[in-house]
Structure 1
Amino acid sequence: MVPKGHIIVATRVGLGKAAITKIDVAINQDLTGIILKSEKIEPEYAVRVITSPLVARLIIASARGTTIKGISRKELSKIKLPLPPLSEQKKIAEVLRTIDEAIQAVDESIAKLERLKKGSMERLLTQGINHTRFKEVELNGRKVRIPEEWEVKKVEDVIIEAKPGFASGKRDENGIIQLRMNNITTDGRVVLDHYLKVPIPRNKNIEDYLLKPGDVLFNNTNSVDLLGKSAVFRGECDFCTYSNHITRIRVKEDITIPEWLVYNFIRLWQMKYFKQIAIRHVGQAGIRKADLLAVKLPLPPLEEQKKIAEILRTIDEAIEAKRAKKEKLERMKKAVMEKLLTGEIRVR
């Protein structure tokens, strides 16, 4: 039993996580309870120092095991913690808590904006802007009311091409960037946190597989829950291509815009439509090209598409600004934590 006000540390599953007990608790073999000497260490400070990169690295380095790694209580007890005076511990914990609260506030703002985007998409992609007369149509197995002026078109009616990329199991640091399914997010972004470079294939004309701004990227193969992720490529990388798990779509610019396809694909993904039509394999699923081309889209006049996309893009930009703010706060927290826990900065 770990009494209220002390801490528990994950020493197997979730290695290195720690928390203050709010009540007396019993724990299993994956956790270790630490009873603190209140005259020497503040509980919140103890949790923050144990979960800091400084100590987390030591815990992970001391872990043993094959399938599930863990650290023994004996090894855990050997790890030394920086221990400033009790009053300074409280101030360090307060500084870090203040940053955490700022991060949490940004998280809540992001969640609010994401709910706004989802609600706006549900309304704008079917009702448009300032319409009063509607008609009922069939869209991918559902009855939907859309403005009378709008049409219903299949994907194949509004695009020039839908071209899958090429497979490559090789790596080449001097090769070409190849975007893969992890480079597309579920909310319609291309991210380059991690990317691969592959050799330029000798049996293909690489020019046929290069990306250019305005290309729509559709994730045609993935786990069944992530299948159908889509994004507009906006030149995030120069001279780059894409794998066979992505289909590159180029639209007829006199009929539609890339953003219209992507926002509709995102909405269909949220509705689990791609999950419904997926061809399932062992460990993954796929969308056949014919099924992708047969997806039905509500199609407003081009100018209205642009206005709707601009509204949704404005929300996207606000979300991106919040994400950037969160990343800045997290970097600041990491830097401040390191300086506080090593004594480089003192708060007396």
Structure 2
Amino acid sequence: MLRTVQRAKEATERVIAALRELKKSLMKHLFTYGPVPLDQADQVPLKETEIGPVPEHWEVVRLGSLLRVAQYGLSIRAGRVGRYPMLRMNNLVDGQVDTSDLKYVDLNPEDFVKFRLHKGDVLFNRTNSFELVGKTAIFDIEGDFVFASYLIRITPDTTQLLPEYLNYHLNWEGVQHRLKALASRGVSQSNISANKLKQLEIALPSIPEQREIARILQAVDRKIEAEERRKRALEVLFQSLLHQLMTGQLRVNQIGEEAKNAHQPVAKRSP
């Protein structure tokens, strides 16, 4: 029955919610104690700093001292046609670039070179609602993309700061609270300038620790994305079965078999 597909979708949504809570808890642990097992956290010597407790051997550094570039994007109107896709604030979703809703611009070669995004760039949402201002995403996809003026391109000095670590650190709620405190609030939008962003103090572990923190959180993100794909597939199946039922292409007893098959884990299906 259709209800079987709906139950499978609801179960997947619960898994996604649980994974998001796990990620939230992991971020608090990792940015407080470092990449150590949970049962060893009490063995990590901490020091109190202006941004809260961090491991004794970590530094607390102003972000601006770790950046090679902090650049505003293009102030140009984008449309549905054009040569280059331009990322806007709505394209930053859960720390990643979402290309499902793109607009395009035409640029001369000089401007394209100036505003072209490179893998490892971190995009910072400097202007948005108070709830969304300060969110970031890492650019790690193929293609000739540029970025809009409501975003700031942050390019770290990778000898000191890895972009993957920076992206997760800035999106952690502990840092988000401090970023919100820097925002200039308007009637409908808030703003955090590049100069204010550079003044933000962040926790700086060693490069190996940064890499391990990013690896752990990336693993959780991959699990979340896998469940999101499953949810989307179930939604498509539900709509397809409903359409076939309403148009008489499928009998009710057939629907039960379709839904039952959809509920089986992919890994258990025969090749």
Q: With the length of structure 2 as denominator, give the TM-score of the two structures.
A: 0.87
Q: How much does 1:270 deviate?
A: 7.2
2:95 to 174, 178, 188: 188
Q: Decide whether aligned partners of structure 1 residues 205 and 309 sit closer, same or farther in structure 2, where only a CA change above 3 A counts.
A: same
Give the equivalent residue in structure 1 for 2:44. Answer: 132
Give the equivalent residue in structure 1 for 2:262. Answer: none
Q: Give the Cα–Cα distance (whole angstroms) in 2 for the partners of residues 126 and 157 of structure 1.
A: 22
More displaced 10-residue stretch of structure 1: 124-133 or 297-306: 124-133
TM-superposition CA deviations, 1:97-129 (whole Å, max 9, x none): 111110000000000000000000001012103
Aligned CA-pair RMSD? 1.6
Give the equivalent residue in structure 2 for 1:82. Answer: none
Q: Tell me how many residue pairs correspond in the alignment.
A: 247
Q: How much does 1:201 deviate?
A: 5.3
Flag structure 1 segments of 5+ consecutive residues without an equivalent: 1-94
Give the equivalent residue in structure 1 for 2:13. Answer: 107
Flag structure 2 segments of 5+ consecutive residues without an equivalent: 37-42, 254-271
Q: Give the Cα–Cα distance (whole angstroms) in 1 for the partners of residues 128 and 174 of structure 2.
A: 13
Q: Decide whether aligned partners of structure 1 residues 170 and 242 sit closer, same or farther in structure 2, where only a CA change above 3 A counts.
A: closer
Q: Secondary structure at the match of 2:97?
A: coil
* Residues 126-275 of structure 1: pairs in structure 2 closer than 5 A: 126-130=32-36, 132-139=44-51, 144-171=52-79, 173-185=81-93, 187-200=94-107, 205-235=111-141, 237-268=142-173, 271-275=176-180
2:165 partner letter: W
Q: How much does 1:283 deviate?
A: 2.1
Whether the aligned pair in 2 keeps the contact of 1:219 and 1:245 (CA below 8 Å) is yes
Q: How much does 1:271 deviate?
A: 4.5
Q: How much does 1:172 deviate?
A: 5.8
**What percent identity do the matched residue pairs reach?**
33
Give the equivalent residue in structure 1 for 2:260. Answer: none
Give the equivalent residue in structure 2 for 1:121. Answer: 27
Larger RCO (CA within 8 A; separation ≥ 6): 2
* Residues 297-316 of structure 1: pairs in structure 2 closer than 5 A: 297-316=202-221
Give the equivalent residue in structure 2 for 1:80. Answer: none
TM-superposition CA deviations, 1:316-337 (whole Å, max 9, x none): 1100110011111111111111
Q: How much does 1:146 deviate?
A: 1.0
